[in-house]
């Protein structure tokens, strides 16, 4: 590739020595010319640093003094990185040598493209898409995220049905490519989120700034999933809390008047269903999320995104409610909910 734009692949590590041992050699074998591979360590307490410095002393290491989460960790680390494109890559992602070039080609197709993702397939079931992003993220008008290839808990087999490279609403944080200038214009990730759905919030803000977000169908990686923050009440708490925070930041005030109360009610139904099913941790996680958001609103901490637009006017937004389609109408596949002329 002649005059290839500069790319920095930044892996945020927290007690992930086992993932680095397994997957870092693959990342280092990336055949993109001049790519810089960087490990940003979120104050790990395992032997990640000792292993990395002794095994791969030439790999650039950025050490944080405390665990700032996904959002804060990347914000702090990327302040020290110079490149045309940043690739935020989870430590539990497996790649092939040629994965990066097509992703950058997608970005280079237009200066209006602010972010992109490859197809994300499951490491443990390679014929299936992976939950976290699949072949590109969408959002319904009520704030529920879903993906091409994954709706709720239904995950599709990759049969080549998403090998195109369309505009989407959000790109997964498991393998997120961002134009450096767009990242800076958007102000990076919102550190209040800590982890979970911060990439959706970023992509929403990028759209509000006039950028496109795309899925790159001819690049693919394999994600273990759940490797950096296992399932538990904290994960439930962050998902429910951050989704509501995102709506509070980015919806128009008139949209918030009817969307937020309905979302609280639906979350409440999910919480009671979890409790009655013996999953008390989920009930507590959702309750804590609601208490945080109410306090955040009362304290006047809401800082709305600039130039907000109606959610239904944005690319990659389904104007209905995916919960209704999935649970009441039996529509389990992306193609059954979103009908696009190909």
**Residue 252 structure tokens:** 């128009």
Given CA atoms 68, 70, 71, 75 in this order, what sign does their dihedral have?
Answer: positive
**Residue located via tokens 């087999």:** 157
DSSP string, 221-284: EEE--SSSS-SSHHHHHHHHHHHHHHHHHHS-HHHHHHHHHHHHHHHHHHHHHHHHTT-HHHHH
Q: Above pLDDT 90, what percent of the chain?
A: 91
Sheet holding 145-147, edge to edge: 154-155, 150-151, 145-147, 137-140, 317-318
Judge contact between 219 and 164, C-beta under 8 A.
no
Q: Distance (Å, rounded) from C-alpha 208 to C-alpha 198?
A: 15
**CB count, 10 Å around CB of 230?**
8
Determine the length of the chain: 342
Q: Binning pLDDT at 50, 70 and 90, where does residue 170 land?
A: very high
Q: Binning pLDDT at 50, 70 and 90, where does residue 305 land?
A: confident
Condensed to tens digits (0 to 9), the pLDDT of residues 36-93 reads 999 999 999 999 999 999 999 999 999 999 999 999 999 999 999 999 999 999 999 9
For residue 228, pLDDT beyond 70? no
For residue 218, pLDDT beyond 80? yes
For residue 302, pLDDT beyond 80? no
Q: Binning pLDDT at 50, 70 and 90, where does residue 1 land?
A: low
Report, as an integer, the average pLDDT of 7-36. Answer: 97
Instruction: Compare 340 and 177 and report the one with higher pLDDT.
Output: 177
Q: What's the CATH class of domain 7-223?
A: alpha beta
What is the predicted pLDDT for the residue at 185? 97
For residue 341, pLDDT beyond 70? no
For residue 206, pLDDT beyond 60? yes
Report, as an integer, the average pLDDT of 147-153. Answer: 97
What is the predicted pLDDT for the residue at 227? 44
Condensed to tens digits (0 to 9), the pLDDT of residues 246-279 reads 999 999 999 999 999 999 999 999 999 999 999 9
What is the predicted pLDDT for the residue at 137? 98
Q: Give ∠ CA 135-191-254 in degrees, rounded to 5.
A: 75
For the chain, domain boundaries:
7-223, 233-337
What is the predicted pLDDT for the residue at 2? 62
**Residue 22 structure tokens:** 């397994």
Condensed to tens digits (0 to 9), the pLDDT of residues 114-135 reads 999 999 999 999 999 999 999 9
Q: Distance (Å, rounded) from C-alpha 37 to C-alpha 81?
A: 11
**Residue 314 structure tokens:** 């944005």
Q: Which H or E run contains 316?
A: none
Q: Binning pLDDT at 50, 70 and 90, where does residue 232 land?
A: low
Judge contact between 117 and 110, C-beta under 8 A.
no
């Amino acid at each position: 590739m002649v005059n290839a734009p500069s790319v920095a692949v930044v892996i945020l590590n927290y007690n992930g020595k086992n993932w680095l041992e397994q997957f870092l050699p693959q990342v280092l074998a990336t055949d993109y010319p001049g790519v810089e591979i960087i490990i940003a360590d979120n104050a790990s307490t395992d032997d990640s640093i000792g292993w990395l410095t002794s095994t791969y002393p030439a790999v650039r290491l950025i050490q944080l003094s405390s665990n700032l989460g996904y959002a804060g960790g990347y914000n702090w680390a990327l302040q020290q990185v110079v490149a045309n494109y940043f690739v935020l890559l989870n430590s539990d992602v497996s790649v092939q040598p040629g994965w990066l070039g097509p992703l950058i080609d997608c970005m280079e197709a237009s200066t209006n493209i602010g972010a992109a993702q490859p197809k994300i397939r499951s490491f443990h079931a390679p014929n299936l898409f992976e939950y976290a992003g699949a072949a590109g993220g969408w959002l319904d008008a009520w704030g529920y995220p879903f993906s091409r290839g994954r709706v709720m808990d239904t995950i599709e087999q990759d049969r080549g049905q998403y090998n195109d490279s369309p505009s989407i609403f959000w790109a997964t944080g498991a393998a997120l490519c961002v134009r450096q200038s767009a990242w800076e214009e958007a102000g990076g990730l919102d550190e209040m989120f800590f982890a979970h759905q911060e990439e959706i919030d970023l992509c929403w803000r990028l759209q509000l700034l006039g950028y496109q977000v795309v899925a790159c169908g001819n690049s693919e990686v394999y994600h273990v999933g759940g490797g950096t923050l296992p399932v538990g009440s904290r994960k439930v708490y962050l998902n429910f809390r951050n989704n509501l925070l995102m709506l509070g930041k980015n919806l128009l005030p008139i949209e918030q008047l009817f969307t937020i109360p309905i979302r609280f009610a639906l979350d409440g139904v999910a919480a009671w269903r979890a409790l009655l099913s013996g999953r008390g941790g989920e009930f507590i996680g959702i309750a804590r999320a609601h208490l945080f958001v109410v306090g955040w609103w009362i304290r006047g901490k809401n800082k709305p995104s600039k130039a907000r637009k109606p959610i239904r006017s944005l690319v990659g937004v389904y104007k209905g409610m995916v919960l209704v389609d999935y649970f009441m109408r039996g529509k389990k596949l992306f193609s059954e909910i979103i009908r696009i002329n190909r």
